[in-house]
């Protein structure tokens, strides 16, 4: 909570299990601006929901980005060492064949 000029404001942090959940079943967006430390998958890889996809370092913490659903990685838009801006697309998915 923050008290500013007599007015109180309350804020809540997102739960850790939603990091990497863009709200879209077909993409993973960067939850924060940071550096891509590791990319675990490649295009064509089949993944299960919540499988680790990449690691983003932001604010001196590592954030594991997870698959939003079962599917096939259709595109990896980043590489290790690259800076990623908040809300930029990191990976895209498609339905398995």
Dist. CA 19–CA 64, nearest whole Å? 8
6-53 pLDDT, tens digit per residue, is 676 665 554 444 344 445 668 999 999 999 999 999 999 999 999 999
Dist. CA 16–CA 26, nearest whole Å? 20
State the CATH class of domain 15-94: mainly beta
* Average pLDDT value for the chain: 84
Q: What is the pLDDT of residue 1?
A: 54
Nearest to 61 by CA among 37, 30, 95, 90: 37
Q: Where are the domains of the chain?
A: 15-94
Q: What is the pLDDT of residue 18?
A: 38
pTM of the model: 0.72
């Amino acid at each position: 909570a923050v008290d500013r000029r007599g007015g109180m404001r309350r804020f809540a942090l997102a739960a850790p299990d939603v990091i990497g959940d863009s709200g879209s079943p077909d993409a993973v967006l960067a939850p924060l601006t940071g550096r891509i430390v590791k990319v675990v998958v490649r295009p064509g890889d089949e993944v299960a929901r919540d499988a680790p996809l990449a690691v983003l370092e932001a604010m001196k913490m590592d954030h594991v980005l997870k698959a939003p659903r079962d599917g096939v990685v259709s595109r990896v838009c980043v590489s290790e060492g690259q800076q990623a801006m908040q809300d930029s697309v990191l990976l895209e998915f498609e339905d398995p064949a």
